[in-house]
Structure 1
Amino acid sequence: MRWKTVFLSDIHLGTRACQADRLLDFLRHHPCERLYLVGDIIDFWAMSRSIHWTAEQNTVVQKLLRMARHGTQVVFIPGNHDEALRDYCGTAFGGVELREEAIHTTADGRRLLIIHGDAFDQVTRHHRWVAVLGDMAYNTLVRINIWLSRARRLLGISGYWSLAGYAKQKVKKAIDFVFDFEDSVIHHVRDRGLDGVVCGHIHWPTIKDFDGTMYANCGDWVDSCSALVEDDSGALRVVRWDASMARPAPELQPHKEDAECVS
């Protein structure tokens, strides 16, 4: 089906962890009227240490530009890993619009703030060296997970298991307690009189309702391979892409209190 809007974040092109092949498969099966790229699309942080740019990653860039040429409105909101592009917000490259943020109106009339979210991460804002070390540790876990996945396939073990996701789940409550990322974003959205927010940054795909204010996170394309999609009624849902099945995997539910579809 053709979606009204697709939201993608944290692709991290230029790294070994980027799952460009799965993203390409997702884009082929999910044409849309509007595409938001919600930050950390290109990982300049990692590329300053070493560059890993594959043919599939190059095809992702070509695919995005092709979508823009063929009528999809493509809006790119840079994140902290591609913050160098923030100097060019207000311009367009190959039909792709660069913006600091955007206000998206859903088909049912809700006004959503579209931001990457790093402005609400106290570590990224005030302790960048800690953020860089955390990023290196996370990428190491993801790379280990690639070998674990190959071993699982050789052993005939079905399904996808994420070491990075497991570690993230174990420490998430502690991180939330200290930094309270989601609550900070929601307070900002309410202060601006908006109905909700779509962001990325923390690699945790989810949709939640905070007393009538929607919080939605796109997830990422290094671990969860997830996106947000909006249908013609204005309902948003999380889609985790299972490339081997060429269809959305139905089991995604990061927290039992989260909703996969909010209208």
Structure 2
Amino acid sequence: MKTHFKTIVISDVHLGTKGSKAKEISRFLKQYRCENLILNGDIIDGWQLKKSGSWKRKHTRFFNRILKMIEQSHTNVYYLRGNHDDFLEQILPLQIGRLHILTDMCYESFGKKYFITHGDVFDSITTNLRWIAYLGDVGYTFLLWLNRVVNYHRYKAGLPYFSLSQYIKGKVKKAVSYIDDYETELAKMAKAKGCDGIICGHIHKAENRMIDGVHYLNSGDWVETMSALAEDHEGNWQLIFYREIDFKGMHPQPNPTLFPHPGGNVVPMRQVSFETRNDEDITPPSIRL
């Protein structure tokens, strides 16, 4: 099993919420090494932290892991702002050593060019009707709480994990249509920018496929799917799902040697384009508007 990659992309961690799988993603990043780590938006959930969210030690450990990757593995980290961490707009663009905070970026590798964006700027709801987006966030928070309750009892009964929100998304025609339109519009945008592919997040649906000749990649999320995108040293992209990783079969990695600097392969763009199961986790969420 590969544990060294050229680039890893993660998004939608939503630190500060009960649904965030902070422990799992820290464990994931501890097992893998990469030259470039792209945090593609909604890493910190500023919306929930303003309302009923809370910052815990496990959320801080995630950033400690990122710092260790920078210091020990000399990883270049690119943090792109999302809609839930839009507070970053106040400091964009910013570079501190190997840490870059940007709106979006272009990534060139093995002769191919990818436009990387969180994806919310292509969502008319989050850009034009912010109050509806906040209302939807409240509904999604409740759905995640209900999902924890359902899976707590499924676990007690010896049943596998079941994603209630993914099930609902797959059954509601408007949700399916929205996702299809979203992916198609992003593919069109990549073509308009002269890119071979596009890498995004936002809709919490991991994907790796071709759309009208454009390579569409979505890193999924770390609330339910727990997935990441990884590019190997031959330019091949793959989705890695946390639940499919055999951690027992993975050998501990020694401190890696200095990775060669990508040499300008990653080119930031400074302008916006179109713009563990705990009993405490099954207490009803505090919802305030």
Partner Cα distance (1:192, 1:200) in 2 = 18
Deviations 1:227-253 (A, max 9, x none): 1111111111111102884389xxxxx
Q: What's the counterpart of residue 76 of structure 1?
A: 79
Aligned pair count reads 245
Over aligned residue pairs, what C-alpha RMSD do you find? 1.9
Structure 1 segment 37-186 matched on structure 2, within 5 A: 37-70=39-72, 71-93=74-96, 95-106=98-109, 108-157=110-159, 159-171=160-172, 173-177=173-177, 180-186=181-187
Q: What amino acid is the match of 2:41? A: G
* Alignment pair present for 1:22 and 2:24: yes
Structure 1-normalised TM-score?
A: 0.87
- Give the Cα separation in 2 of the matches to 1:23 and 1:178: 28
- Pair 1:209 & 2:213 matched: no
Aligned letter for 1:196?
G
* Identity, % of aligned positions: 34
> Which amino acid counterpart does residue 23 of structure 2 have in structure 1?
D
Is 1:4–1:230's contact at 8 Å kept on the other side of the alignment? yes
**In 2, Cα distance between equivalents of 1:216 and 1:28:** 23
| 1:21 CA drift (Å) | 1.1
Shift of 1:156: 1.5
Q: What is the CA distance between 1:94 and its match in structure 2?
A: 6.6
Whole-Å Cα distance in 2 between the matches of residues 178 and 66 of structure 1? 39
Report the 3-state secondary structure (helix = DSSP H, G, I; strand = E; otherwise coil) of the residue aligned with 2:242: strand
Cα deviation, residue 31, structure 1: 1.3
Q: Aligned partners of 1:120 and 1:37: how far apart in 2?
A: 18
Q: Which has the higher contact order (CA 8 A, sep 6+)?
A: 2
Q: Which runs of 5+ in 1 are unaligned?
A: 249-263
| Alpha-carbon distance in 1 for matches of 2:66, 2:144 | 25
Q: TM-score, normalised by structure 2?
A: 0.80
Structure 1, residues 125-183: CA drift from partner, whole Å, max 9, x if none?
A: 111111111111112111222222221221122x3211111112223x42353572111
Relative to structure 1, the CA distance from residue 94 to residue 148 in structure 2 (aligned partners, 3 Å threshold; closer, same or farther) is farther
> Residues of 2 paired with 1:125 and 1:192: CA distance?
21
Question: Per the alignment, in what secondary structure is the counterpart of residue 135 of structure 1?
Answer: helix
- Show structure 2 runs of 5+ residues with no match: 250-289
- Structure 2 distance, partners of 1:83, 1:214, is 27
Task: Provide the C-alpha distance between the structure 2 equivalents of 1:244 and 1:163, rounded to a whole number of angstroms.
Answer: 22
Aligned position for 2:228: 227
In 2 relative to 1, CA 52–94 (structure 1 residues): closer, same or farther, beyond 3 Å? farther
Shift of 1:42: 0.4
Kept in 2: contact 1:65–1:95 (CA 8 A): no
